[in-house]
């Protein structure tokens, strides 16, 4: 990866992870990238819950699937090797924006290391439902936090090509 722009342009959402494990050094760099994201008023009130345990991921997916009214065994995290929950204080008006900055840092750091990633979005609307909050507590997510997004991470055998961008989304005022 030569430049920051090359990293940004080549990042793609990956939805099929293989069994290769992310090593500790790489994961540490990804977490460092996350915590160095900007945050409104520099509050840094986020929390990163880094899940490497497959059984716990499967348990979470099962509980979410039920709550979302989905077919048994249809909801999963694409066989992610690591799942990072990005949560923030419920009353922080910048919670989503701060979390999104941290998520993008995670994705770009992962891409720079040859690791695939995708945003998983289904948790934030159901965080305070009882069975969901129970498992969030078990995983160590602070009670006064909402999970704004999860980053599923892992290696892939099917890295998607860069995508075309829509025309007409930019204009310059000179
Ligand atoms: C806020 C947000 C929520 C997303 N939620 C999901 C999701 O729940 N599941 C998923 O597979 N991809 C999800 N994505 C990934 C988008 O579908 C993806 O970024 C988009 O299709 C563009 O593809 P690219 O990331 O490969 O450029 C989400 C992305 C964002 C920014």
Q: How far is the CA of 8 from the centre of ligand 1 (A)?
A: 15
114 — alpha (psi -120 to 50), left (phi > 0) or beta?
left
Q: How many domains does the chain have?
A: 1
Where in the sequence is the domain holding 128, given as residue range(s)?
Answer: 15-154
Q: Which residues does residue 86 pair with via DSSP β-bridges, in sequence order?
A: 48, 149
> Closest residue (by CA) to atom 15 of ligand 1?
119
Residue 77 lies in a domain: yes
How far is it, in rounded angstroms, from Cα 112 to Cα 122?
26
Burial 79-91 (b: 16+ CB within 10 A, else e): ebbbbbbbbbbee
Considering the domain boundaries, does residue 161 fall inside one?
no
25: exposed, middle or buried (Cβ count in 10 Å: 0-12, 13-18, 19+): exposed
Question: To test the ligand 1 pocket, which listed residue (60, 64, 119, 160) has its Cβ within 8 A of the most ligand atoms?
Answer: 119
* Shortest-distance Cα residue to atom 18 of ligand 1: 13
Q: What is the pLDDT along the chain (174 residues), one digit of tens a residue?
A: 679 999 999 999 999 999 999 999 999 999 999 999 999 999 999 999 999 999 999 999 999 999 999 999 999 999 999 999 999 999 999 999 999 999 999 999 999 999 999 999 999 999 999 999 999 999 999 999 999 999 999 999 988 888 899 999 999 999
- Residue 27, in any domain of the structure: yes
What is the predicted pLDDT for the residue at 23? 98
Q: Give the number of other CB atoms < 10 A from CB of residue 158.
A: 10
Kindly list the protein residues whose Cβ atom lies closer than 6 A to any atom of ligand 1: 12-13, 15, 118-122, 160, 163
Q: Whose CA is nearest to atom 29 of ligand 1?
A: 119
User: Do the domain assignments include residue 163?
Assistant: no
If you count DSSP H runs as helices and E runs as strands, how many of each does the chain have, helices first? 5, 4
CATH of the domain at 129: 3.40.109.10
Residue 30 inside a domain? The answer is yes
CA of 118 to the centre of ligand 1 (A): 6
As a whole number of angstroms, the distance between CA 33 and CA 107 comes to 9
99: in domain: yes
- The pLDDT score that the predictor gives to residue 1 is 66
Whether residue 1 is contained in a domain is answered as no
7 is a domain residue: no
- Are residues 153 and 115 in contact, defined by beta-carbon separation less than 8 angstroms? yes
**Which residue's CA lies nearest to atom 7 of ligand 1?**
120
Report CA(163)–ligand 1 centroid distance (Å): 13
Closest CA to 120 of 49, 72, 46, 41: 49
The pLDDT of residue 160 is: 87
């Amino acid at each position: 990866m030569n430049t920051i722009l090359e990293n940004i342009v080549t990042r793609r959402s990956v939805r099929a992870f293989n069994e290769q494990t992310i090593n500790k050094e790489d994961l540490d760099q990804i977490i460092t990238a996350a915590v160095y994201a900007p945050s409104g008023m520099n509050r840094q009130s986020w929390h990163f819950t880094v899940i490497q345990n497959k059984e716990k991921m499967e348990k979470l997916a099962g509980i979410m699937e039920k709550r979302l009214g989905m077919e048994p065994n249809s909801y999963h995290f694409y066989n992610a090797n690591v799942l990072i929950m990005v949560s923030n204080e419920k009353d922080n008006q910048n919670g989503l924006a701060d979390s999104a900055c941290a998520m993008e840092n995670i994705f770009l750091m992962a891409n720079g290391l040859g690791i695939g990633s995708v945003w998983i979005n289904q948790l934030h609307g159901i965080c305070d439902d009882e069975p969901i909050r129970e498992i969030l507590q078990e995983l160590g997510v602070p009670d006064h936090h909402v999970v704004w997004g999860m980053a599923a991470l892992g290696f892939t055998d099917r890295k998607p090509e860069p995508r075309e961008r829509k025309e007409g989304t930019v204009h310059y005022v000179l």
